[in-house]
Structure 1
Amino acid sequence: MHRIAVFSASRDSVRDGIASADVGDRLQFWIRRDPDGAVEYAGAIHGGVFSRFDLGGPDQALIEVHYRIGVLLRARFGGLAARAELYHVSSHLGDEFLVDSGVRPISTSREGLEFLLQGSPLPGITVYGGPGVLLRTSRDLDRLSLRAGADWESSPAAHARFYASVDLFTWAESEWEPALATELGAALGRGARLGLLFGLGPSRAEQFFRESERLLGVTISYVR
């Protein structure tokens, strides 16, 4: 998914105007289906860059960027799918933000495994969830995490199409405090979306994951 967002972020009594730019995609390198299409196996390389910029400063400086790359294996049996991802994550603060704020960077570089089950109980609705475990970290981070969520999109036959999503992530390192992200909006075309974003809980920005924040903003995204 590719997404650009502009939002207000309240973090530890500090409110900032922030823009984010997320670029992520996957390159499929293997797929196998049975003749009737009920069973499918696939493999892909999945990567992304997720960045935040300070809209309140004179130079709209880069605040934080983190990178994620992984190998994804997926199996589908009818309407039920399971996937496993072996991934690497690393993060960095922007140079100008470091100089201006005096914030000390932290190292969250790590490798891990995430397992998700996905199903579609009703037309247009997808639900997912599963555990994660860290295999290696650059510091002594707690290893277990959980992710769950749901996506809904109205019928393609409708004149106007709408969507809603909710994603919940909780990590032992954050004492299982949930990070919630919800989005609601309209589908503008094939894969294009315009929505409202609301987030609550530990920051999804890697360098600030120990700080709770509240996000409210507008997003433009493309989902392939």
Structure 2
Amino acid sequence: MSSVRYLLIAIIILLRLPGAEAAPVEDAYIAGYAASILQREFRLANPALDVKNGIIKVRTDDLTGTDRAKVMDALSSIPGVAGVETVDNEKQLASSPSTPSATWVYETTQPGGQVTLQTGFLPTGHLFKSLLADPRWPHFSAAYHYTSVSGDFDDTVNIATVSFGETIPFYRGNLSFGQRFAGQWETGLQAGVFSDFNLDAPSSDLINTDFFGAVYSSMRIGDFSAFGRLFHQSSHLGDEFLLRTQLQRVNLSFEGIDLKLSYELPYGIRLYGGGGGLFHKEPASLSPWSVQYGIEFRSPWRLDFAAMRPIVAVDLKNYEENDWQTDVSARAGVQFENLDVMGRHFQILLEYFNGHAPSGQFYINKIEYVGLGAHFYF
């Protein structure tokens, strides 16, 4: 139980960091900087701008007669800018902030608005959004699962699951396929550690830890994005768990490649799908192919009080190793947008899983669980 306690302490410390709150003064600085660039370099006399949380919004009409790609690139290079977005009319520019209330606020997102993120080395933001219901997407989390496991290898029912991970873009650049299909690409590293603890054991035994590392590349054109990676994963059983159960250990380790495509629809709906294969694996008999697909809903409505946004996500996976049976992972809850830690939002999610265990050592065992988790996602 001590490991879970240390994780909770770490999360509390993160929440208390100075960077955990937005800085409106910095937004005002960015707005002035952006207006100066537009007036000095592009001869735009009175551009309508809005900046919130480092995102610059500029009217499409104000960019008439300019090289839009150069404008977006110049604005995204401003220190502190997280993204640049064009909007079709002035009504979409945010009004002055009001006092939070217990009402639902609808935030419209018009199609055709091009978002440009910061370019260069170690940029902020990500082109491909996290997969919210994927149990093996690297991020920081802690969750409790009430679990039912097939087979007689263990009597575990109450499990604590923790993960530590991040997706780090090293470099981002612009793509140009004509003005209509301008986009961006980035490359970087992704890494994560996923551990399960048996809360029914006297010492809260470590059951399994999966280590994951990848080199990735992603791109975005409008609402379409893609994410490909070359990855490694290895799995390890906990010593106390092995001594107590005398389970026959599997030396599971593999390298592979996968690709995911995503498209964002109106009203906060996102569809994604893809697949992958293993080219080096142990045991050698492990079947290589898999597919993954899902749907997410990030509500365009948020509760003004506490800035809570509803979230629902379903992730589906099929592995050749398990005769293409479907593993279902579903999560639903709220995102607290006033708790921003290094660009990551805090989420409380109800969790459900039914399928073959995502924990590497038990990939042939079927499990079902319900639980509650705390997550930090970008």
| Same fold (TM > 0.5) | yes
Deviations, residues 16-54 of structure 1 (Å, cap 9, x unaligned): 100000111012111002587930110010000000000
For the residues of structure 2 that align with 1:220 and 1:132, how far apart are their CA atoms?
28
Aligned runs of 1:65-104 on 2, under 5 Å? 65-104=209-248
TM-score, normalization by structure 1? 0.95
Secondary structure at 2:267 match in 1: coil
**Which residue is 2:277 aligned to?**
133
Instruction: Identify the match of residue 147 of structure 2 among 2, 5, 9.
Output: 9
Unaligned ranges ≥5, structure 1: none
**Which residue is 1:185 aligned to?**
333
Instruction: Identify the match of residue 27 of structure 1 among 148, 153, 168.
Output: 168
**Which residue is 1:150 aligned to?**
295
Greater Cα shift, 181-190 or 106-115: 181-190
Number of residue pairs matched? Answer: 224
For the residues of structure 2 that align with 1:2 and 1:168, how far apart are their CA atoms?
21
For the residues of structure 2 that align with 1:182 and 1:84, how far apart are their CA atoms?
23
Unaligned ranges ≥5, structure 2: 1-138
Q: Does the Cα contact within 8 Å between 2:156 and 2:198 map onto a contact in 1?
A: no
- Following superposition, which runs of at least 4 residues in structure 1 exceed 6 angstroms of deviation? none
Say which one has the larger Rg. Answer: 2
Amino acid at match of 1:70: A
Deviations, residues 125-172 of structure 1 (Å, cap 9, x unaligned): 221111111111012211110001122111265424110111111110
Amino acid at match of 2:160: A
Secondary structure at 1:99 match in 2: helix
1:48 matched to 2:192: yes
**Which residue is 1:117 aligned to?**
261
Taking every aligned residue pair, what percent have the same amino acid on both sides? 26
1:38 matched to 2:192: no
For the residues of structure 2 that align with 1:215 and 1:126, how far apart are their CA atoms?
25
Amino acid at match of 2:313: S
Greater Cα shift, 55-64 or 183-192: 183-192
Q: Does the Cα contact within 8 Å between 1:8 and 1:15 map onto a contact in 2?
A: no
What's the Cα RMSD here?
A: 1.6
1:217/1:157 Cα in 2 relative to 1: closer, same or farther (>3 Å)?
A: closer
Greater share of strand residues, 1 or 2?
A: 1
**Which residue is 2:353 aligned to?**
199
For the residues of structure 2 that align with 1:15 and 1:158, how far apart are their CA atoms?
38
**Which residue is 2:40 aligned to?**
none
Q: Does the Cα contact within 8 Å between 2:175 and 2:185 map onto a contact in 1?
A: no
Deviations, residues 95-146 of structure 1 (Å, cap 9, x unaligned): 0000001111112200001111111022322211111111110122111100
TM-score, normalization by structure 2? 0.57
Secondary structure at 2:249 match in 1: coil
For the residues of structure 2 that align with 1:170 and 1:153, how far apart are their CA atoms?
25
Secondary structure at 1:97 match in 2: helix
For the residues of structure 2 that align with 1:123 and 1:24, how far apart are their CA atoms?
29
For the residues of structure 2 that align with 1:104 and 1:15, how far apart are their CA atoms?
17
Greater share of helix residues, 1 or 2?
A: 2
1:212 matched to 2:366: yes
For the residues of structure 2 that align with 1:216 and 1:157, how far apart are their CA atoms?
26
